[in-house]
Amino acid sequence: MAINTYATLQTAVANWLDRSDLTDRIPEFISLAEARMNRTLRLSMMLNVDETTLGGAATLIGGTRDYALPSGYLQMVDFHLRTSPITTLSYLTPENMNRMWAGSQGGKPLAYTIFADNSTGTPIKKVRLGPSPASAYDYSIMFYKKIDALSVANTTEQMLTDNPDIYLYGALLEAEPFLMNDQRVQLWATAFQESVRALQEQDNKDRHSGSAMRVMNTGGYY
């Protein structure tokens, strides 16, 4: 049976566990596996380019130094201003950013940091610029984005079509502790880790071999 949809993945997990009574639990195992994948993988297909939605703004806004990161954000790869010539921003730790640009200095941003804004009571991951923009600037960011979660509404993903083993082994790895079958945990952990290692290794080779790299913008692949 091909594992290329949310439904066939759920069926495969049930078959491999040899259980027919886990219908309500298997989506949880898959969701946990996806969270593990997002923590572990950094693939070219997860790269996203955004030039219009940082903090809901099409440009940086004069006097505004904090911007909410796009939905699904995992890790920044590049942040630059579309000036002539391009201005590439350097990453600073939050501590160093606070030391260098703690006040309200304005100018052309030269650096950024990532922090959690807890001012509303709910942590929101944001990017902070230093110095604060003195005027509007066009920008471009490249970042790793979470793989879209499978669901009844989103029944398949290219990641699943290309790598069903990672989803399957990941879901089985999450299932065994729930089933108190601890002796099987290491088996699936090893299978999952080996599949992830092989995929990441191949992706790294492709990036440096001249192969076309698929990068997503907010509308999909281009």
User: What average pLDDT is seen over the chain?
Assistant: 92
- Report DSSP letters for 56-67, one per residue: G-SSB-TT--EE
Q: What is the pLDDT of residues 107-119, one digit of tens each?
A: 999 999 999 999 8
Q: How many CB atoms lie within 10 A of CB 153?
A: 7
Query: Which pLDDT does position 143 carry in this prediction?
Result: 97
What burial letters (b/e) apply to 109-142, b meaning 16+ CB within 10 Å? bbbbbbbeeeeeeeeeebbbbbbbbeeebebebb
State the pairing for strand pair 73-81/87-88: antiparallel
Q: What is the pLDDT of residues 4-32, one digit of tens each?
A: 999 999 999 999 999 999 999 999 999 99
Split at pLDDT 50, 70, 90, the class of 1 is confident
